[in-house]
A and B are shown apart, each in its own frame.
Chain A
């Protein structure tokens, strides 16, 4: 596709349910990043991949959060047993660079609301 695609764009779920957020990066981009952005704040790093390898997951808040990129392309961020504090905009970004960051291309985001 022309840009980074994320789905769903909006997700409303009840506390305790699991959610999966999907990111389809720009074709050929080696690196894929997940960020979380609260209203009025800058994006907060969660985790990133080079190809299918998860390089850094230090930003994941706790063990309810996990991410995978099994074939080095599409990635899924999964949140288990959601809590109200998980409500936020989740953004995916991809980069051509395999080492370092380079220029990040962000998707439109998935807005998660936990009731």
Chain B
């Protein structure tokens, strides 16, 4: 069974304080690893897809990396608008299995 574990559960940052979120996974036949952002009361919003170990993707202050066992989402110099829950998901076959998420709060 696919397993996705995200840590930490919650992260409180000062504006400008860079940090990383971890997503470790166990899946048979990884077809892709996805990062989504979810704001309170909203549906998840797609950020990145990573397909193979060593791959990196960047978007504004966010950078996602992938190894054979885990993925990291690096937040560089975060701003209050980066506050959200970040969800990691793995694709095996034709569905995504999500982790529980990391809730990031960035204080001004």
Contact = CB atoms under 8 A, between A and B. Distances in A.
A43 B88 CA distance: 10
Interface string A45-73: 10010000001100100000000000000
B101 A56 contact: no
Interface residues of B, number: 24
A15 to B, nearest CB: 26
B46 A104 contact: yes
B44 A43 contact: yes
Interface in A8-60: 31, 33, 35, 40-45, 48, 55-56, 59
A101 B46 contact: no
A101 B95 contact: yes
A7 B87 CA distance: 24
Given A101-B32, A106-B44, A108-B43, A42 B94 contact: no
Contacts of A31: 94
Given A42-B87, A108-B43, A100 B94 contact: yes
Nearest to B42: A108
Nearest to A102: B49
Interface size class of A (residues with CB under 8 A): 20 to 34
B43 A42 contact: no
A45 B43 contact: no
A45 B96 contact: yes
Interface string B35-54: 01000011111100100000
Interface of A: 4, 31, 33, 35, 40-45, 48, 55-56, 59, 91, 93, 99-101, 103-109
14 contacts: A43-B87, A43-B98, A44-B98, A45-B95, A45-B97, A48-B95, A55-B94, A56-B94, A91-B43, A101-B34, A104-B36, A104-B46, A106-B43, A108-B43
What 7 A-B pairs come out closest when comparing CB atoms?
A106-B43, A42-B98, A103-B46, A45-B95, A43-B98, A101-B91, A106-B44
Given A101-B94, A101-B95, A106-B45, 12 more contacts: A31-B94, A40-B101, A41-B101, A42-B87, A42-B100, A43-B96, A48-B95, A56-B94, A91-B43, A100-B31, A101-B34, A104-B34
